[in-house]
Amino acid sequence: MSEKLVIIGNGMAPGRMLEHLLEAAPDRYVVTIFNAEPRVNYDRIMLSPVLSGEKAFEEIVIHGDGWYIKHGITLYKGHRIVAIDRNAKTVTSDHGVTESYDRLVIATGSVPFIIPVPGKDLPGVLSYRDLDDVNAMLLAAQSRATAIVIGGGLLGLEAAAGLKERGMDVTVLHVMPTLMERQLDPAAGYLLQKAVEARGIKVMTKANTKAIVGNGKVEGVELTDGTIIPATLVVMAVGIRPNSALAKDAGLEVNRGIVVDDRMRTSDPAIMALGECAEVGGHVYGLVAPLYEMARVAAAGLADGEDRRFVHSDTPTKLKVTGIDLYSLGDFADGEDREEIILRDASAGIYKRVVLQDNRIIGTVLFGETADGAWFNDLKKKATDISEMRDTLIFGQAFQGGASSDPLAAVAALADDAEICGCNGVCKGKITGAITAKGLTALDDVRAHTKASASCGSCTGLVEQLLKLTLGDAYNPAAVQPMCGCTSLGHDDVRRLIKAKGLKTIPAIMQELEWKTSCGCAKCRPALNYYLVCDWPDQYADDYQSRFINERVHANIQKDGTYSVVPRMWGGVTSAGELRAIADVVDKFEIPMVKVTGGQRIDMLGIRKEDLPAVWADLGKAGFVSGHAYAKGLRTVKTCVGSDWCRFGTQDSTGLGIRIEKFMWGSWTPAKVKMAVSGCPRNCAEATCKDVGVVCVDSGYEIHFAGAAGLDIRGTEVLGLVKTEDEALEVIVALVQMYREQARYLERIYKWAKRIGTAEIKKQILDDVEKRRAYFERFVFSQKFAQVDPWSERVSGKDKHEFRPMASVGFAEAAE
């Protein structure tokens, strides 16, 4: 019979513990989780990118609702445990829910330290620990007013950078002489202050807060020297304390945190503790790497598996502020028995310091250039004698033993047990082994299979170098190549920065992202136009000049300079009236070729450019809209006759195809999208080689995606089976919206899916119902602005230059 495992807290540490436990002993426990926050498990490390706008909350969710359902885990959201009865072995929440346990894990995390000064309880004073704090800051930032961040440590600087990106005037107050004094020496602290101030953030060191002033709300901060700094928002980020009160009330041993042994066991053998609330070997931790090691140890104990024990090790510190490279590790205090090696490059803003004791590294500080951080960490961990490389040590790994300055050579020289991802404890050998064994070819594949680079992302460059090193010429570094010669940025960085900086016009992008040309080129302008349409559907008007000729005239140019016109036939279905209208247009304009397309439509070829407005005017009177045969958008939804006519049909494939096409037509996508719906497994509509396909079966609708039948021939991946037509529509729309938001311009779905990973797409679209619904709703929102009436005022030219060409077929302006 399964034992009952109850977990108090649903942060990153217990989430990782459950992953290990489910892998080692999937049927051992019936699991119940009580989470004080009203949401699922998410990556708290990435709250700073959410605050700055570089990521949405949905992108940092670790375990969506579907994950808990899949594993039979009961999750109580918004339930704070108020009592642990160790004698009865029960816990009780503030909502009155009582649950018994055989084993209990306490993972209550930490609480922010609030400076006990007058005014600390005024509205507008916030801490910075969870998503609620971020949402409150985002609400305050809408005023574009003034913010003060008290605390110049990691969290404080990340909060300041995020609020500045949101348009606030930000001042950082720090009581010590230099920033991040616990992780950096004064020299690096000085450089960090310069870098922060260069971003437009004011920094005041030796600033001791006396009071927060205001009448009914925050109006400013008073310092002990009498200075008053105006502010509408005050964020306290001065430290955290283990949240151990619940354990103390239950009679468990508590010091700074909940005292545990090296197997994460508390003073009660039935209870474990891990994460920021735990104290092990006299240490409490706030960085994720030791918390994840606690998770591994706790899972091994719960599974009665390997005898794993927690061992303290120093964890590197990295700042998650875009454009500031900082790395700190170990002990870098001065001492008589220590020596230091320093490199400074003032013009490049580079500072490196290595602290030695008995010819072994005990501390490292890197600012401005941090690529050798993993190497220095490895030398420190192994207590390597550096005597023979003493003279060149500070220059990094590439300068040792006459090695090449090529960064790949430096990565190749790392030992297999060298740690690459500190957050998740992933070594080089695990990454290269997974690349080889599983045929991984992209960064997201490596993240999915090893978790390297999946947390804070600071090791991304090293992981990409390992991909290149392992795959050689087979590695496609498109992810890091510039999108064109006009910029050094890749598509992914451009998309991220458009959102992060709130850029809503092509000139704004080119100015803020330092484009190398004045107006861009034929590669970047259409891409930027698409990204803006997708990201700001309600605020950005399509740039007419950033279109290819086919999109501007709603027809495909042919080799002789004439054009081809394809009216839309919903799901491939037509009528006598439509056919007569097409025949009349063919006769009237003496169109030399009429052809049935592979997408179940009629193509009219050989039309002169000057005739296009009149051709569309006649077709529009018959109710036709453009089939978008030229579009980076939905082109066709091919169907078979389905259950209405075919004796083998299991579902109404024609009806579903028409429903999908009418729901989604007119939406921009990174590349063309072709769909199909087959009414039975005989697959007459060829749904298994399309970008998105549906194969109807007796039990519902089998959703396929990532097929191709052009230059590349490939069958689809099966996303999953849903039972109803409504579910099928929601899944397909959500899948396409995920593709719209994440793919690079001109990247087909099958290439995007290979890069992202099928498992990740299934996780977000099928497993996580909330995330799927969010994608669906964002698509619906965008369609409000993309789908306009294509004919009422269009052909007369009354709305000249105000149309959205993807969703319209008017041509008054196209003839000019």
Residues 502 and 648 in one domain: no
Residues 150 and 259 in one domain: no
Tens digits of residue pLDDT in 200-252: 999 999 999 999 999 999 999 999 999 999 999 999 999 899 999 999 999 99
Rounded mean pLDDT of 402-431? Answer: 74
Rounded mean pLDDT of 547-559? Answer: 82
Q: Looking at the domain assignment, is residue 388 inside a domain? A: no
Burial 561-598 (b: 16+ CB within 10 A, else e): ebbbbbbbbbbbeeeeebeebbeebbeebebeeeeebe
Residues 561 and 525 in one domain: no
Which residues are known binding-site members? 640, 646, 680, 684
Distance CA 649, CA 696 (A): 8
| Per-residue pLDDT, 372 | 87
Which residues are known binding-site members for [4Fe-4S] cluster? 640, 646, 680, 684
Asked whether residue 810 carries a pLDDT value surpassing 60, the answer given is: no
Contact 574, 620 (CB under 8 A): no
What one-letter code names the amino acid at 500?
Answer: A
Mean pLDDT for the chain?
87
Residues 282 and 199 in one domain: no
> Last residue of some domain: 531, 546, 561?
546
CB atoms within 10 A of CB 420: 26
**How many structural domains comprise the chain?**
5
Asked whether residue 813 carries a pLDDT value surpassing 50, the answer given is: no
Which residues are known binding-site members for siroheme? 684
Reduced to 3 states (helix: H, G, I; strand: E, B; else coil), residue 58 is helix
Inter-CA distances, 91 with 29, 246, 709, Å: 17, 11, 57
Q: Looking at the domain assignment, is residue 247 inside a domain? A: yes
Residues 650 and 526 in one domain: no
| Per-residue pLDDT, 755 | 82
Residues 644 and 758 in one domain: yes
Q: Looking at the domain assignment, is residue 376 inside a domain? A: no
Distance CA 477, CA 518 (A): 27
Rounded mean pLDDT of 367-373? Answer: 87
Q: Looking at the domain assignment, is residue 564 inside a domain? A: yes
- The domain that contains 554 carries what CATH number? 3.90.480.10
Q: Looking at the domain assignment, is residue 342 inside a domain? A: no
Reduced to 3 states (helix: H, G, I; strand: E, B; else coil), residue 578 is helix
Distance CA 215, CA 44 (A): 33
Asked whether residue 798 carries a pLDDT value surpassing 70, the answer given is: no
Residues 191 and 261 in one domain: no
Residues 149 and 71 in one domain: no
Domain residue limits at 497: 491-546
